Chain A
Amino acid sequence: MMWMKLAFGGFGRRFVEAIAAAIVLAVTSATVASSLMVVEGARRALNQAVRQDRPDIVQVKSRFNRALFETPRSGNLPPLTIPVYEPLIDRAELQAAVGSNQVVKRQSLFRNVVSGDSFLNIYVFGIDPDLEHEVSSFSIARGRFLSRDDHAAAVLDQASARALGLDIGGAFPIRKADGEDMQLTIVGILDKLELRAAPPRSAEAPSLNPESTFVSSGAFVNIRTSEQVFGRPTLTDALVVAGSGSNVPDLVTQLQEAFRLEPGIFVAERYSQYQRKVRDFVLTLTLFSAVSVVTVLLAGSFASNLLHDIYVDRRRQYATLMALGFSPAKAIAPAVAFGLVLGIAAAVIGGLVAGLLMPRSFAMPSLMADLGPTEPTIDWLVAASIMVISIAAAAVGLASTAVRLVGQPLATTLSEENS
């Protein structure tokens, strides 16, 4: 009880100063926490951009043609528009252009699968199973994924499998370019699929994500099988994975040079956009770090100054304790306890204010034009930062008093007058 009174009792008018110091520290904490939350949100947005945009990937795609009549050489299929990329990309030319960079080859097809007296539109993707896994995401619900050695094997998404009424081990016919049917055996069923740089969806087909404007379903076969169906080795699209992001501009130049005479082939990269996002992040980091540092330096030092006044006012009390036989550490303990309680309370209140009142979405047009709105996020680093700042402010306020108490003779301290 005595220690409580020593730490928190008898402030008199200085109590108002203590409250002012606590509020200044709390608002400082809230400002710093909010700034760090924005920075943290921007950092997460940038990381998400790295994961989602994959700036190291360059897409090479043929002209998208959604209005070609499919005219099978035999059979009784009605004419239909086939929304796919045209197969214009020559593999050897592509490989020569990209050098040692990895190429994820694709053949995208669109076919009618005839069953009984009805038919179903289905997207067919010829992929390199091992490499495609590194850029796209496939979640196998049943069975297994494709392998390079498979022949006439397919992995279907759940929606397409359901529409076809098939499961693992079942087979469905796909019309080949020569007019013959090829039976594809289902070896796996997908329940989730994120195909990187999927073609736009503009024809009715079973879909895992009906809201998506991009194809989110289909039958996946290895590229050897798709070549047999397509009847040609040329690719419809391909993803080139650059060794590092900085290689992308050179790689794009090489690809544009290689395909300069083919107007139907386009090279798309996300690296430039990613670079703009990085610049946005740097600007955000700079601005809000500056806000934090300036706030800490000015408001934090002001709070320290207020606390300093309080400690100076009580210096004789601490000196009296030392004169009564308390060790310097014990004599100064009430001051430390007071500073800690005040600092921690301010940090907690400031953190709560920032956490509860900070808007869920933060956008600044000239700062985050490419990064877009971010979601301010509080994490342990933000919490630790405001705690350290508040405690440091209290410690700085106490420093001069502590040094005086330890460094100068007790008699001198006891003979000092209060402010």
Chain B
Amino acid sequence: MHRGLLWLAVVDLRRAWLRPSLAALAIALALIAVTFFAGQIGLRQAELLTGYEESGAATFIVEVNKVSTSDVADLVQALRTVAGVQSVLAPYNGTQLGLVADTSFVVFENEKQQESLGARTTALGVDRSFDPLRDYYVNFHDLNSNAPQAVLGAALLATSGAVRAPERNEIVVPAGVTDYVGVRSGADATVDVMYLNANPPIVQRFEGLRLIGTFELIGPDQGRFEPFWRFAARGREVLTVRRPDAPEGVATSLPILLSDELVKEFLGHVREELAARGTAPSTNLTANKLVVRAESVQAVPSIEAKVVSLLEQRGLKQDCRAVTERTFCLRLPERNNFEAALKEQKKFERGGSFFISLLLVLVAVGTAGLQVQLVLARWREFGILQAVGFSPTQILLYFAVRLYTVFAVGMMAAAAVVAILPFERTASAFGFAAGIALATASVAAFPVLLWPLLQRPAQLLRVSA
């Protein structure tokens, strides 16, 4: 660039310092505001996605059919190796397997008699990777064949003790049940696990399971359970009193948590018993719903694709209707899923984006207006500069130097203020603000500067003379 033009630009700015200073101030304030709003959007997005991820929006369910227990275990292992997958588990879900559990605690005992209070719920057998907040899913079609095939996540919120996957001799029970019975963590429970899809039902009793924690179920059942009172005299059970209208089958999605080993043991017992009776199980006695959790909400679509590819490689066909062949079906949880998370994220970023847009338009229009003012004031000078030999490009550069000097001053002032102000910001948010403001200002200023340059010098000199 011609030195003379550079000198002219600097002298020009020094002489008319007020207007460029005010322009720099306006740009600085706009950059601060855009940084603030961009930071807020980023914060909101992160907060929202974290909340969704914590409640299981990065999870989806893979239902497999006609796959043996050992094949399910292999699939779980294979899926765990897929990049971007945080966890995979195959819980034994009582609503799917037709299992209920009568959990009781002794509330009175002497040498002659024993009274217990308890409740009937469903059962959930889980391994150590189970996360109570986001890994329990219920397909209400399993509870009611008229209900649509849709899985719903139900969070198990810890209320006391340790709510985690229990060991073989441990149990985790809904708080409503322990409140009703009046027991705390450390109490010994007796659990009668029942397979109801056989006549008579197959029952196995597990005694001395230590209660390690209690939880509240956040789901449509509102913690519903069927209470009962049991009386035993001289070691023999004499009476169990239930509500007369208590349902027989699995009527609630409220579970007790048991170790997967214990449930596996019970299912083995069921198979033996059914074989002894010479009947086949009416439902597949395997954990056929795999709970797959991606590392982030955004990663879910790509993980879904990888899971589909892996399952197809293993000879399974994607089909959500067929249950007679080796098929699989991907189901997104109702309400709380990655699609809802991303949609919600978009909804909440609109407010901040709107203000960012307004401020950028203001910067653009302000810059264009400033250039219009300058161009009109210097209309004749455009002609003179061209007449003495400067090319239009050089003149354009002269005005660009003026504009970008003002912009640089504003940007430095904004950077200093943003560093001091106590609001959520990042270097990337400021960089975004500065970059986009610079781009919009340039785009707005360029046509204005071209306006006189597209005319002949003589015309410029004549008009303003």
Contact call A366/B40, Cβ cutoff below 8 A: yes
Question: Which residues of A16-72 are within 8 A (CB) of B?
Answer: 16-17, 20-21, 23-24, 27-28, 30-31, 34, 38, 65-69
Contact call A79/B241, Cβ cutoff below 8 A: yes
Query: Residue on A with the closest CB to B181?
Result: A67
A419/B377 contact (C-beta < 8 A), A20-B369, A24-B369, A34-B355 known: yes
Contact call A24/B365, Cβ cutoff below 8 A: yes
Contact call B379/A359, Cβ cutoff below 8 A: no
A16 vs chain B, min Cβ distance (A): 5
For the complex, is B277 an interface residue (Cβ under 8 Å from A)?
A: no
Q: In the complex, which of the residues A65, A299, A367 contacts B179, with contact meaning CB atoms closer than 8 Å? A: A65
Q: How far is the CA of A34 from the CA of B33 in the complex (A)?
A: 14
A365 vs chain B, min Cβ distance (A): 5
Question: Which residues of B412-444 are within 8 A (CB) of A?
Answer: 423-424
Question: Which residues of B302-355 are within 8 A (CB) of A?
Answer: 347-348, 350-352, 354-355
For the complex, is B29 an interface residue (Cβ under 8 Å from A)?
A: yes
For the complex, is B22 an interface residue (Cβ under 8 Å from A)?
A: yes
Contact call B222/A202, Cβ cutoff below 8 A: yes
Q: In the complex, which of the residues B43, B177, B372, B377 contacts A366, with contact meaning CB atoms closer than 8 Å? A: B43
Query: Residue on B with the closest CB to A23?
Result: B365
For the complex, is A298 an interface residue (Cβ under 8 Å from B)?
A: yes
A64 vs chain B, min Cβ distance (A): 10
Contact call A67/B365, Cβ cutoff below 8 A: no
Residues of B in contact, count (CB < 8 Å): 44
A21/B424 contact (C-beta < 8 A), A295-B362, A363-B44 known: no
Which of A90-98, A133-141, A231-239, A302-310 forms part of the interface with chain B?
A302-310
Query: Residue on A with the closest CB to B371?
Result: A20
Query: Residue on B with the closest CB to A418?
Result: B464
Contacts of B47 in A (CB 8 A): 365
A311 vs chain B, min Cβ distance (A): 14
Contacts of B352 in A (CB 8 A): 364
For the complex, is A115 an interface residue (Cβ under 8 Å from B)?
A: no
Question: Which residues of B101-150 are within 8 A (CB) of A?
Answer: none
Q: In the complex, which of the residues B40, B241, B243 contacts A364, with contact meaning CB atoms closer than 8 Å? A: B40
Query: Residue on B with the closest CB to A80?
Result: B243
How many chain A residues sit at the interface, stated as a range, is 35 or more
For the complex, is A7 an interface residue (Cβ under 8 Å from B)?
A: no
Contact call B22/A31, Cβ cutoff below 8 A: no
A299/B351 contact (C-beta < 8 A), A14-B376, A364-B40 known: no
For the complex, is B366 an interface residue (Cβ under 8 Å from A)?
A: yes
Question: Which residues of A170-210 are within 8 A (CB) of B?
Answer: 202
Pick the most buried of B43, B177, B362: most chain A CB atoms within 10 A of its CB. Answer: B362
Pick the most buried of B22, B227, B354: most chain A CB atoms within 10 A of its CB. Answer: B354
Contact call A17/B372, Cβ cutoff below 8 A: yes
Query: Residue on B with the closest CB to A200?
Result: B222
Contact call B366/A299, Cβ cutoff below 8 A: yes
Contact call A30/B358, Cβ cutoff below 8 A: yes
Q: How far is the CA of A365 from the CA of B223 in the complex (A)?
A: 32
Contact call B350/A309, Cβ cutoff below 8 A: no
Contact call A306/B373, Cβ cutoff below 8 A: yes
For the complex, is A291 an interface residue (Cβ under 8 Å from B)?
A: yes
By secondary structure, the B interface counts as helix
Q: How far is the CA of A23 from the CA of B43 in the complex (A)?
A: 32
Contact call B40/A27, Cβ cutoff below 8 A: no
For the complex, is B235 an interface residue (Cβ under 8 Å from A)?
A: no
Query: Residue on B with the closest CB to A30?
Result: B358
For the complex, is B176 an interface residue (Cβ under 8 Å from A)?
A: yes
Contact call B376/A78, Cβ cutoff below 8 A: no
Question: Which residues of A339-374 are within 8 A (CB) of B?
Answer: 357-359, 361-367, 373
Pick the most buried of A17, A20, A358, A365: most chain B CB atoms within 10 A of its CB. Answer: A365
Q: How far is the CA of A289 from the CA of B361 in the complex (A)?
A: 19
Q: How far is the CA of A302 from the CA of B180 in the complex (A)?
A: 72
Q: In the complex, which of the residues B351, B362, B379, B423 contacts A361, with contact meaning CB atoms closer than 8 Å? A: B351
Contact call A17/B373, Cβ cutoff below 8 A: yes
For the complex, is B251 an interface residue (Cβ under 8 Å from A)?
A: no
Q: How far is the CA of A186 from the CA of B33 in the complex (A)?
A: 62
Contact call A305/B373, Cβ cutoff below 8 A: yes
Query: Residue on B with the closest CB to A419?
Result: B377
Q: In the complex, which of the residues A67, A78, A363, A366 contacts B423, with contact meaning CB atoms closer than 8 Å? A: A366
Contact call A357/B354, Cβ cutoff below 8 A: yes
Pick the most buried of B180, B348, B350, B372: most chain A CB atoms within 10 A of its CB. Answer: B372
Question: Which residues of B364-409 are within 8 A (CB) of A?
Answer: 365-366, 368-370, 372-373, 376-377, 379
Contacts of B361 in A (CB 8 A): 27
Q: How far is the CA of A30 from the CA of B365 in the complex (A)?
A: 13
Contact call B176/A362, Cβ cutoff below 8 A: no
Query: Residue on A with the closest CB to B243?
Result: A78
Contact call A27/B362, Cβ cutoff below 8 A: yes
Pick the most buried of A16, A68, A373: most chain B CB atoms within 10 A of its CB. Answer: A16
Contact call B227/A27, Cβ cutoff below 8 A: no
Q: In the complex, which of the residues A17, A67, A202, A306 contacts B227, with contact meaning CB atoms closer than 8 Å? A: A67
Q: How far is the CA of A94 from the CA of B292 in the complex (A)?
A: 53
Query: Residue on B with the closest CB to A350?
Result: B358
Contacts of A20 in B (CB 8 A): 365, 368-369, 372-373
Contact call A13/B376, Cβ cutoff below 8 A: yes
Q: How far is the CA of A301 from the CA of B355 in the complex (A)?
A: 20
A374 vs chain B, min Cβ distance (A): 9
For the complex, is B187 an interface residue (Cβ under 8 Å from A)?
A: no
Q: Apart from A24-B365, A78-B245, A361-B351, what are 20 other A-B pairs with CB-CB below 8 Å? A: A24-B362, A27-B358, A31-B359, A34-B355, A38-B351, A65-B179, A66-B176, A67-B179, A67-B227, A68-B180, A81-B180, A213-B222, A302-B22, A302-B366, A305-B373, A309-B376, A358-B354, A363-B44, A365-B47, A373-B348
27 contacts between A and B (CB under 8 A): A13-B376, A16-B451, A17-B372, A20-B365, A24-B362, A24-B369, A27-B362, A34-B355, A66-B176, A67-B176, A67-B227, A69-B227, A78-B243, A79-B241, A80-B243, A298-B26, A299-B26, A299-B366, A302-B22, A302-B369, A305-B373, A306-B369, A359-B354, A364-B40, A365-B44, A366-B40, A366-B423
Residues of B within 8 A of A (CB): 22, 25-26, 29, 33, 40, 43-44, 47, 176-177, 179-180, 222-223, 227, 241, 243-245, 347-348, 350-352, 354-355, 358-359, 361-362, 365-366, 368-370, 372-373, 376-377, 379, 423-424, 451
Chain A to chain B: the 4 pairs with minimum beta-carbon distance, closest first: A67-B180, A362-B351, A20-B369, A359-B350
